Amino acid sequence: MSTFEEVIAADRRIEPRDAMPDAYRATMVRQIAQHAHSEIIGMQPEGYWITRAPSLRRKAILLAKVQDEAGHGLYLYAAAETLGVDRAELAERLIDGRQKYSSIFNYPTLGYADVGVIGWLVDGAAICNQVPLCRSSYGPYARAMIRVCKEESFHQRQGYELLMTMMRGTAAQRELVQESVDRWWWPSLMMFGPPDGDSPNTARSMAWKIKRHTNDELRQRFVDMTVPQAGRLGVTLPDPELRWNAERGHHDFGTPDWDELKRVIQGDGPCNAERVEHRRRAHEDGAWVREAATAHAAKAARAAEAAEAARAARAAEAGRSTKEEVA
Amino acid sequence: MSWPLYEVFVRGKRGLNHVHVGSLHAADDESALHSARDLYTRRNEGVSIWVVRSAHITASSPDEKDPFFAPSGDKVYRHPTFYSIPDDVPHI
């Protein structure tokens, strides 16, 4: 029989009912739950713009995208549940603030260009993070990530296309795009987490093959991918230190404000309270729907039971009369 | 809220088996089917869906994996490569 260590060493997947160290299980639950919460909270910044999008086409696209975020959250809650946690409990932990979500969603969407920039930069960074997670050692998580990544590419492309459209518009529209890029660039770089020297769990997560690359490796990859896209779009990334380093074969770039990241993670970002409060309200406002569905299911089950009892009684009755005839 | 957990299986297209894609919670079978459609086939990923309560699935246990599957382990003669046939025999 393969032990946990043998499965990991052979680069195979751990499946739900396999034996695994408690710390591995706890790490997976925390990571998958945080990821799921991020998708759920991630509906809000863009959801705000559904009714404000400038055309039916843009509304339909945005609606589909926000639906996808909900779907991604649910794929991930399903994966977390295979580890023995209860989904309702995870929803509670998000609302209570006991579990976190990605810091990026604590920034406000101040203009419609933000919808495009979120698709391009935020979803672009998410893709960078998530593609290697498709090979994560925990099977249900890796499989959920494959579904998510397939859908995420639509998100990034619709954002970039939206921005290209605005950049072909008026000078004022181009300014709106640049202003939005200026606000989202650094928070997007922070999405990869603290620098490697400050990320105590990275080594263990890499050894367990939960993570395949360090935060700094992924951040570098994202910068290298994004710079030519910014050039093609015609926007400037707000970093005076950003330049190509031929020797390294990578772009050099400035240091994000790590104190800001810490503050936002600890709850002191521009929208933390608002996001969690909105989620709580949505959860509570939906209670009557859940109760109605439960009541309807209970009623249907009672009706089915009664019908079954009646059928059994008829069958018994028929059996008796047959016997009487024979007698 | 304590809706039961359902496992979801989707047939991607005609000619393929239903494949397990994930799970969801639902109040009853009918709503499980509708939620499964919304959650797992937003992009025409399926032509048919099965949902079944997770509690109704009986599964083999990984703890007894070795003894459970052992009976097929020593029957190499069930595989075509067990039989050596000269190279000059055609179509076999």
**Mean pLDDT by groups of 10 residues along chain B of 92 residues:** 91 96 96 96 94 94 76 85 93 88
Query: Residue B2: which CATH number?
Result: 3.10.20.520
Percent of chain A residues topping a pLDDT of 90: 92
The nearest CA of chain B is from the CA of A82 a distance in Å of 9
pLDDT of residue A1: 52
Domain assignment present for residue B13? The answer is: yes
Q: In chain A, where do the E strands start and end?
A: 243-245, 250-252
pLDDT in tens, A148-192: 999 998 999 999 999 999 999 999 999 999 999 999 999 999 999
Confidence of residue A324 (pLDDT cuts 50, 70, 90): low
* Residues from chain B contacting residue A73 (CB–CB below 8 Å): none
Assess contact for A116 and A274: CB atoms under 8 A: no
Assess contact for B1 and A294: CB atoms under 8 A: yes
pLDDT of residue B71: 79
Mutation target among B21, B25, B51 for the A interface, most CBs of A within 10 A: B25
What is the interface pTM, i.e. ipTM, of the complex? 0.88
Domain assignment present for residue B75? The answer is: no
Q: Give one DSSP letter per residue of A254-287, joined into a string.
A: ----HHHHHHIIIIISSSHHHHHHHHHHHHHHTH
What's the total number of domains in chain B?
1
Domain assignment present for residue B67? The answer is: no
Domain assignment present for residue B38? The answer is: yes
Domain assignment present for residue B11? The answer is: yes
Question: Residue B33 sits in which domain range?
Answer: 1-58
Between chains, do A294 and B39 touch, taking CB under 8 Å as contact? no
Rounded distance between C-alpha atoms, residue A176 and residue A111, angstroms: 8
* Residues from chain B contacting residue A88 (CB–CB below 8 Å): 1-2
DSSP state letter for A247 = T
Predicted confidence (pLDDT) at residue A326 exceeds the cutoff of 70: no
Domain assignment present for residue B3? The answer is: yes
Q: Establish if A304 touches chain B: CB-CB under 8 angstroms.
A: no
Domain assignment present for residue B91? The answer is: no
B26 phi/psi in degrees, rounded to 5? -150, 155
Q: CB neighbours (10 Å) of residue B78?
A: 7
HSE toward the beta carbon, residue A200, CA cutoff 13 A: 1
pTM: 0.91
pLDDT of residue A322: 65
Between chains, do B42 and A78 touch, taking CB under 8 Å as contact? no
Domain assignment present for residue B83? The answer is: no
Between chains, do B28 and A297 touch, taking CB under 8 Å as contact? yes
The nearest CA of chain B is from the CA of A259 a distance in Å of 38
Q: CB neighbours (10 Å) of residue A183?
A: 19
